[in-house]
């Protein structure tokens, strides 16, 4: 097949449009391939995503009108499956879902091809339930457990509606195989390596006197481990990102995060690039499905210190692009909060990173393999291999 279906024959399905994060950047690249294709999503907060995405027709579910959905949309999780199934896609020849929650459960017509770019099976319903919901006793916990059990059953059943999966990393491909019993083609997400670049010859040399984390502040990101490790070493930590855990993390680590931690919230692209360029290392203490931030850091000539599990193994070679570590006894202590072994291992990895002279050209060259153009080529090949002309 040389031509893609026209936009009016294609339905794009995305979980929700509430901000321009990694998943929305993937959607933007895919949407650009299908001009005019409608985007079906549970809810959309106008102005929260790029103009390019909002130029597409956007169809929202009945949850768009739910009370308090802007502030508390996660509370409507039990209704997500019914809402995504409510879309009428019967006249579409191609359905492309980008899913980390329920988008892959959209119901295509009998003659349509449904391709899913899967960022991850639902973390909170599968292997990270205990990280998201540590309180396991009481009536609320029991009701939540029953709801998640039903959600897992639906998640597995709805995977049969997908003709072919693409995964954003080898790690996610293994999770798809385990939970859905399906194979997936690995296509790394696009990173804007044309924007994220090392400092130029005329720029002031980077100080390299602080560590950086760039992440949504959710439990599985393990930001407190980074805080504790940097405080132990006396190295400043700058935390970029926001999320439901920010207030709790600040309270547990001191209102300002201690003398060596600065919570910066969300920053614009220029400031983020400046932070990458000046950092000693980007820290990733949590297990990520892929991790766009490590690629952005490498593109700016900054090494990555990360836990040696998950999608980062597709990005970082230990000792070449950064330092990978694994806490001693981590399998037994994973649910024990910010265990001493995690902090000690990360602190040692940061110290090791400081002693290595990384080649900026090697870091940059590694990042260039994750460019937007490479993503488009791989995704087009994936679509063409499954859509019959």
Give tens-digit pLDDT for 250-270: 776 664 455 688 999 889 999
Read off the tokens for 158: 């709805």
Eight-class DSSP state of 17: B
Give the whole-angstrom CA distance, residue 126 versus residue 124.
6
Q: State the chain's mean pLDDT as an integer.
A: 89
3-state secondary structure of 203: coil
Give the whole-angstrom CA distance, residue 318 versus residue 211.
18
3-state secondary structure of 219: helix
Give tens-digit pLDDT for 305-337: 999 999 999 999 999 999 999 988 644 444 444
Indicate the burial class of 20 (C-beta count within 10 angstroms; 0-12, 13-18, 19 or more): middle
Give the whole-angstrom CA distance, residue 347 versus residue 340.
11
Mean pLDDT calculated for residue range 108-127: 87
Mean pLDDT calculated for residue range 119-132: 70
Q: What is the pLDDT of residue 259?
A: 62
3-state secondary structure of 343: helix
Nearest to 191 by CA among 270, 97, 289, 299: 299
Residue 212's alpha-carbon distances to 136, 196, 199, 324, 360, in angstroms, are 33, 15, 17, 16, 17
> pTM of the prediction?
0.86
Domains in the chain, please, with CATH? 7-190+371-384 (3.40.50.2000), 210-368 (3.40.50.2000)
Residue 348's alpha-carbon distances to 305, 345, 352, in angstroms, are 10, 5, 6
Give tens-digit pLDDT for 183-227: 999 999 999 999 999 988 667 777 788 999 998 887 678 888 999
CB atoms under 10 Å from CB of 389, counted, come to 7
User: Minimum mean pLDDT among 26-40, 59-73, 163-177, 319-333: which range?
Assistant: 319-333
Residue 324's alpha-carbon distances to 43, 207, 282, in angstroms, are 38, 23, 12
Give tens-digit pLDDT for 62-79: 999 999 888 888 788 889
**Which residues, in sequence order, are bridge partners of residue 239?**
213, 263
């Amino acid at each position: 097949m040389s031509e893609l279906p026209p936009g009016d024959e294609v339905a794009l399905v995305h979980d929700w449009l509430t901000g321009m994060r990694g998943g929305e950047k993937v959607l933007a690249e895919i949407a650009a391939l299908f001009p005019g294709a409608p985007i079906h999503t549970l809810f959309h907060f106008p102005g929260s995503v790029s103009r390019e995405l909002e130029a597409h027709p956007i169809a929202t579910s009945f949850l768009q009108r739910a009370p308090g959905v802007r502030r508390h949309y996660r509370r409507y999780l039990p209704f997500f499956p019914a809402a995504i199934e409510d879309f009428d896609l019967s006249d579409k020849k191609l359905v492309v879902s980008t899913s980390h929650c329920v988008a892959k459960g959209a119901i295509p017509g009998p003659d349509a091809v449904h391709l899913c770019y899967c960022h991850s099976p639902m973390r909170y319903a599968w292997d990270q339930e205990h990280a998201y919901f540590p309180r396991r006793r009481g009536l609320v916990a029991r009701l939540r457990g029953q709801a998640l059990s039903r959600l897992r059953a639906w998640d597995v059943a709805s995977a049969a509606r997908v003709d072919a999966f693409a995964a954003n990393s080898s790690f996610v491909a293994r999770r798809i195989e385990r939970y859905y019993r399906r194979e997936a083609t690995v296509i790394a997400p696009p990173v804007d390596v044309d924007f994220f670049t090392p400092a130029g010859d005329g720029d002031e040399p980077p100080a390299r006197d602080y560590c950086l984390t760039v992440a949504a502040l959710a439990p599985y990101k393990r930001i407190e481990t980074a805080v504790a490790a940097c405080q132990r070493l006396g190295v400043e930590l700058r935390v970029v990102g926001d999320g439901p855990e920010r207030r709790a993390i600040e309270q547990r680590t001191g209102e300002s995060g201690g003398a060596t931690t600065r919570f910066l919230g969300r920053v614009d692209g220029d400031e983020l690039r400046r932070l990458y360029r000046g950092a000693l290392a980007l820290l990733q203490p949590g297990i990520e499905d892929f991790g766009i931030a490590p690629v952005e850091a490498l593109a700016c000539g900054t090494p990555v210190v990360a836990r040696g599990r998950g999608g980062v193994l597709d990005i970082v070679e230990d000792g070449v692009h950064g330092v990978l570590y694994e806490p001693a006894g981590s399998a037994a202590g994973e649910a024990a909060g910010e265990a001493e072994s995690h902090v000690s291992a990360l602190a040692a990895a940061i110290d090791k990173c400081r002693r290595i002279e990384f080649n900026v050209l090697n870091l940059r060259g590694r990042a260039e393999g994750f460019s937007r153009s490479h993503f488009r080529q791989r995704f087009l090949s994936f679509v063409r291999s499954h859509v019959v002309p």
